[in-house]
Homo-oligomer: A and B are copies of this chain.
Amino acid sequence: MNLAAQPLHLHPDRLLPAEASQRDIARRLYAQVAALPIISPHGHTDPSWFAGNAPFANATELLLVPDHYVFRMLYSQGVDLDRLGIPRADGSRAAVDPRSAWRVFAEHFHLFRGTPSSMWLNHVFHEVFGLRVRLDATTADYYYDRITAALETPAYRPRALFERFGIEVIATTESPLDPLEHHAAIRDSGWTGRVITAYRPDAVIDPEHEQFRDALHQFGELTGENVFGWEGYLRAHRQRRAFFASRGATSTDHGHPSAATANLSDDEARKLFSLVVAGRADAAQAELFRAQMLTEMAKMSLDDGLVMQLHPGCFRNHNQALFARYGRDKGADIPVRTEYVRALKPLLDRCGNDPRFQLILFTLDESNYARELAPLAGHYPSLLLGPAWWFHDAPEGMWRFREQTLSSGGFYNTVGFNDDTRAFLSIPARHDVARRVDCAFLAKLVAEHRMDEDEAMEVATDLAYRLPKQAYRL
């Protein structure tokens, strides 16, 4: 390693307010929640890691290739994805040495200054791998070697990390077509880590999804239902939801382009579905079908108790050329303006006052926090607000979430933190950031005499631990 490299700090007061009176309060609040178990009710880790418990390959494969937060920033500054070894849509991959990809990343690490990626990665480097110099061009090889070597040791196997991270429960996300074999294997293995699934049916619900036709056929084969008829299709969903629940699922997840819901008559719904399965639904009918299916999912939740999550408002695969070459989830998804008040009314008129129903709303359009979402959640008993999400899960975004939802929604119509990540090693870092930001926010309220410290203590614990368990029925 380069002895002239800058030291890597992880200051115990990071993200706490600089002003002394608030910092002292924030420290006391944080001290109480820092070590609480991690509740991770929504994310995208791979259950095969925990089923197979095989070692991760190397620094690049673990930390760079799967993290589209990271390589989108590199791409934005002219770094070709092939230089990073990002897999292409056709399954091929540029012949790039993982070490040389890592060097490219290290040379550009200054681009992440001030971003959440830099905080999360530095946390991983410092806490998980014990590194004490900053990553840059001069330390790239040192990093690569240290990390890759560590990954070969038992302490860095997935289950060991899961336990070291203090994860009480983690939810993965699977398609209805997934056999959930890894979840079964985990359960059967005798390992006590709680890894549950969540029901994410977009591919069999969205007529515009590129895999919809194939997915629908598989859905039929898997369930033995006639999924090309409306009743059979709904029965297939019920059957798979029950199967998912038997593998631990307590929630469903829906990633729609908008928050539109509908409440058609059975007859209208049946006709619409027949257009959909015939491949004759136009864009408006596809949207209406997705809208109707949200209400169908809500109705099923009344019976099976699965908590519903709605993540709307993303323009997927915005970069045509990049999508053609590299496929989905390559950092080219862009948030769009989203409307909730009119969009959700059909579903809420049907299920919104039912005590059995719980819908957790997310947004990528922060202009809705104070205007639409907090007022909705501060009224409807079935609505809760998911945390600042994806492009908004930086400290500033989390702070805006609290500042803009507190007045009408309070703390108790929110559900604590979601890490929503594929980057397994960053999970403790992400939860730590969320806890620090919430404690900093609460410390300001205490320092400005809007809340007593004992109340803030209770709220901090609720946000870090109790509310996510309660909201997700864990």
Where the two chains meet, the residues of A that have a C-beta atom closer than 8 Å to any C-beta of B are: 6, 9, 11, 13-19, 21-22, 72-73, 75-78, 110-116, 118-119, 134, 315, 318-322, 331-337, 339, 341-342, 345, 348-349, 352-353, 355, 364-367, 370-372, 374-381, 383, 391-397, 403-404, 406-413, 444-445, 447-452, 454-455, 458-459
Instruction: Please determine whether B448 and A407 come into contact, CB atoms closer than 8 angstroms.
Output: no
Contact check: which of B73, B348, B391, B444 meets A319 at CB < 8 Å?
Answer: B348
Chain B positions within 8 Å of A341 at CB level: 315, 318, 334-336
Q: How far is the CA of A354 from the CA of B126 in the complex (A)?
A: 37
Instruction: Please determine whether A407 and B379 come into contact, CB atoms closer than 8 angstroms.
Output: no
Number of copies of this chain that the complex holds: 3
Chain B positions within 8 Å of A76 at CB level: 377-381, 383, 409, 413
- Once A113-B459, A114-B450, A114-B451 are accepted as A-B contacts, the answer to whether A18 and B18 lie under 8 Å apart by CB is no
Instruction: Please determine whether B407 and A319 come into contact, CB atoms closer than 8 angstroms.
Output: no
Chain B positions within 8 Å of A318 at CB level: 341, 345, 348, 376, 379
Q: How far is the CA of A378 from the CA of B337 in the complex (A)?
A: 18
Instruction: Please determine whether B113 and A455 come into contact, CB atoms closer than 8 angstroms.
Output: yes
| Residue ID in chain B nearest A352 by CB atoms | B319
Instruction: Please determine whether B391 and A408 come into contact, CB atoms closer than 8 angstroms.
Output: yes
Q: How far is the CA of A330 from the CA of B192 in the complex (A)?
A: 48
Chain B positions within 8 Å of A77 at CB level: 381, 412-413
Could you list 11 further interchain pairs (A-B, Cβ under 8 angstroms) beyond the known A16-B448, A19-B19, A116-B407? A18-B21, A18-B447, A76-B378, A319-B348, A334-B341, A336-B341, A336-B342, A364-B371, A366-B370, A367-B371, A394-B406
Instruction: Please determine whether B372 and A14 come into contact, CB atoms closer than 8 angstroms.
Output: no
| Residue ID in chain B nearest A134 by CB atoms | B452
- Once A76-B383, A336-B341 are accepted as A-B contacts, the answer to whether A18 and B22 lie under 8 Å apart by CB is yes
Instruction: Please determine whether A392 and B378 come into contact, CB atoms closer than 8 angstroms.
Output: no
| Residue ID in chain B nearest A22 by CB atoms | B18
Q: How far is the CA of A409 from the CA of B75 in the complex (A)?
A: 12
Q: How far is the CA of A119 from the CA of B376 in the complex (A)?
A: 22
Chain B positions within 8 Å of A75 at CB level: 379, 381
Instruction: Please determine whether B321 and A349 come into contact, CB atoms closer than 8 angstroms.
Output: yes
Instruction: Please determine whether B450 and A119 come into contact, CB atoms closer than 8 angstroms.
Output: yes
Minimum CB–CB distance for A345 against chain B, Å:
7
Minimum CB–CB distance for A397 against chain B, Å:
6
Chain B positions within 8 Å of A315 at CB level: 341-342
Contact check: which of B13, B18, B365 meets A19 at CB < 8 Å?
Answer: B18
Minimum CB–CB distance for A344 against chain B, Å:
9
Chain B positions within 8 Å of A320 at CB level: 345, 349
| Residue ID in chain B nearest A18 by CB atoms | B447
Q: How far is the CA of A454 from the CA of B331 in the complex (A)?
A: 30
| Residue ID in chain B nearest A440 by CB atoms | B448
Q: How far is the CA of A134 from the CA of B451 in the complex (A)?
A: 11
